[in-house]
């Protein structure tokens, strides 16, 4: 393979969940820019249609496939509608309740785990077998640094994201012999609407940047670029990994 085509995704179809805003939209745009036909999935059908239209107006190939990932029947329908997918990016997720774990209700547990973990597992189970039959495919599961260390504020979210990283390892072992790669990506603090309240908190930001060697927050495109790498030939020998993209936050002693 030529070095010039390492990141080329022409001829491949990519399904991205949570695709219409924040990290999902950056990932969707990056995959399309590198040649993939993109299936835009989110809970809001109108937002999906608008995102797909925006991509088409930029000269990309895109289609909208709305689905509520908390509903197992809609996940199954999404898999059926998507058809043969070469790249699956499970980005959709929710934070869930803030506060101590003991305060989380059974309904909170069910909602967070259904959307953040079980939907990714269901999508993988529905789409990976066809990838394996073709002898190739890439799955990227969006985890978080909240799944790498203890967290007193969003512990349920952190538990679900730790499980996502383990799901990537398990699926990589199961499907590697058939040519399917599965990896997780763990972003740190990224400039997205979801992080707006943290970015506006001066005390928090001073503490966070002091413990981040690069002394800045990340940008959505910096996560999207990692996903493109994992989806493409450039990441062809990477599987079962949890790639941490956090500016060094989790390796720093704060100095």
Q: Which residues are catalytic?
A: 157
HEC profile for 217-247?
A: CECHHHHHHHHHHHHCHHHCCCCCCEEEECC
Cβ within 8 Å of residue 93, ≥6 positions away: 18, 115, 116, 142, 160, 161
d(CA 31, CA 25): 10
Task: Answer left, alpha or beta for residue 240, where phi above 0 means left and psi between -120 and 50 means alpha.
Answer: left
Cβ within 8 Å of residue 206, ≥6 positions away: none
Q: Say whether 87 sits in a helix, a strand or coil.
A: strand
Q: Say whether 141 sits in a helix, a strand or coil.
A: strand
Cβ within 8 Å of residue 106, ≥6 positions away: none
Distance of CA 243 to the CA centre of its chain: 12
d(CA 210, CA 253): 9
Cβ atoms of 117 and 72 within 8 Å: the answer is: no
Dihedral Cα 172, 32, 2, 168, nearest 10 deg: -10
């Amino acid at each position: 393979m030529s070095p010039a085509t390492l990141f080329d995704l022409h001829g491949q179809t990519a399904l991205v969940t949570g695709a219409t805003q924040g990290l999902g939209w950056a990932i969707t745009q990056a995959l399309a820019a590198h040649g993939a036909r993109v299936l835009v999935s989110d809970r809001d059908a109108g937002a999906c249609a608008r995102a797909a239209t925006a991509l088409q107006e930029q000269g990309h190939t895109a289609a909208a496939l709305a689905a509520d990932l908390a509903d197992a029947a809609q996940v199954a329908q999404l898999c059926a509608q998507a058809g043969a997918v070469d790249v699956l990016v499970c980005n959709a997720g929710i934070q869930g309740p803030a506060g101590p774990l003991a305060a989380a209700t059974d309904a909170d547990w069910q909602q967070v785990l259904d959307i953040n973990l079980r939907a990714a597992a269901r999508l993988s189970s529905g789409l990976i077998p066809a990838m394996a039959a073709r002898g190739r495919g890439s799955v990227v599961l969006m985890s978080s640094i909240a799944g790498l260390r203890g967290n007193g504020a969003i512990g349920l979210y952190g538990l679900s994201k730790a499980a996502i990283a383990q799901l990537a390892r398990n699926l990589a072992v199961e499907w590697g012999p058939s040519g399917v790669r599965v990896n997780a990506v763990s972003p740190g603090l990224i400039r997205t609407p979801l992080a707006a309240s943290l970015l506006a908190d001066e005390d928090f930001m001073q503490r966070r940047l002091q413990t981040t060697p690069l002394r800045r927050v990340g940008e959505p495109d910096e996560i999207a670029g990692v996903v493109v790498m994992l989806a493409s030939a450039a990441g062809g020998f990477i599987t079962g990994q949890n790639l941490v993209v956090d500016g060094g936050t989790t390796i720093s002693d704060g100095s």
